[in-house]
Amino acid sequence: MKVSWVTDESRVPSTVYYGTTPEKYDSSGTGEHTSYRYFFYTSGKIHHVTIGPLLPATTYYYRCGGSGPEFNFRTPPATFPIEFAVAGDLGQTGWTTTTLKHMNATNYDVLLLPGDLSYADTEQPLWDSFGRLVEPYASRRPWMVTQGNHEQETFPIIYPNGFKAYNTRWPMPYELSGSKSNLYYSFDVVGTHIIMLGSYADFSDQYKWLANDVARIDRSQTPWVVVIIHAPWYNSNLAHQGEGESMRVAMEEMLYNSRVDIVFAGHVHAYERFTRIYDNNADPCGPIHITIGDGGNREGLAMLYKEPKPSLSIFRESSFGHGRLRILNNTHAHWSWHRNNDTTAVVADEIWFQSLSSSPSCIPKIEPNVQLTQVNDEL
């Protein structure tokens, strides 16, 4: 686990003390610290410390820098079942607060966030307030994120490459999966291979990395494959129409041949679930596409849809909420979308489905342990 925190005091050591008993720390980890400038803003001291190895399904108590409050987190289990909470486009509104409380009301093992975190949009103090907002939740469970358009924060000549605050504050374990960019990476947890793609990262380099990543997937060890993007490839909402199309054209065939089970996206501030789909047609061996950019944000909901509803779209609704993916075993999983009501989250859409790796007619077309290094010259 990587623990990240920010201090105003520069002399605080980048050390995390931890153990399995409150107030008793028999282990520690030391990491690194950094800071960044963005125009006239200078961040605090940003600490990143990796601790472990850790036991599965175990609560650890920890203190950052040797002082301050004690926190605790629970590690994911070693075997099925495992539950992922999924919420995109969070922001810092009253809707965000409700979504976070609803997600936290029942236990989950890992949060998957398909981009648009703080909505700072160059106002750097909003990154600090976002950290304070999510700390009670992100300090207790692993939060695995990818970037959205609101993380770009580019400025001609001065900050042409963007993602300065995002990459400094939210480093993901990209190097462990052979990626050269914090904007896309993969990881394994309890029989599930999670691929976090970058809708706003270079497609050529990302394609090369993705080809090697999917070629190494061993479905006997990770029978489930889940992909996270920001801009949806399929979308019947009038908002952000076609913005994921270039990425779909570049990468969809590879995900289809790899028999990805489900693709989560954000960006559109609404919820929508599609049938299994490939190349704009229903396909029993294609992934289920789900848009879940309804976590909070500050721009409101995307209320307008194409009419009549396309046959590929199974359920759609403009409401705030979050999702739950509970993988029971090698073959079966349950997905539910929880609409935000005033005090409780109401299950408004749900489905049981089977892993493609367990379907005899959907054998992956890319063999594991094959290294792919060539990229189509047209990309």
Which residues are designated catalytic?
240
Query: Which distant-in-sequence residues (6+ apart) come within 8 Å of 133 by Cβ?
Result: 92, 96, 97, 100
Nearest to 130 by CA among 162, 165, 106, 159: 165
Could you give the angle at the alpha carbon of 93 between the alpha carbons of 88 and 96, nearest 5°? 40
Query: Which structure tokens are listed for 195?
Result: 């691929």
- Report how far residue 194's alpha carbon sits from residue 196's, in angstroms, rounded to the nearest whole number: 6
Tokens 């005033």 correspond to 342
Nearest to 16 by CA among 57, 59, 52: 52
CB 47 within 8 A of CB 5: yes
Q: Mark residue 44 as left, alpha or beta (left: phi above 0; alpha: psi -120 to 50; beta: remaining).
A: beta
Prior bond of 53 cis (ω within 30°): yes
State in Å, rounded, how far the first CA of the chain is from the last one. Answer: 36
> What SS3 state is found at 299?
coil
- Report how far residue 9's alpha carbon sits from residue 31's, in angstroms, rounded to the nearest whole number: 17
- Report how far residue 97's alpha carbon sits from residue 94's, in angstroms, rounded to the nearest whole number: 5
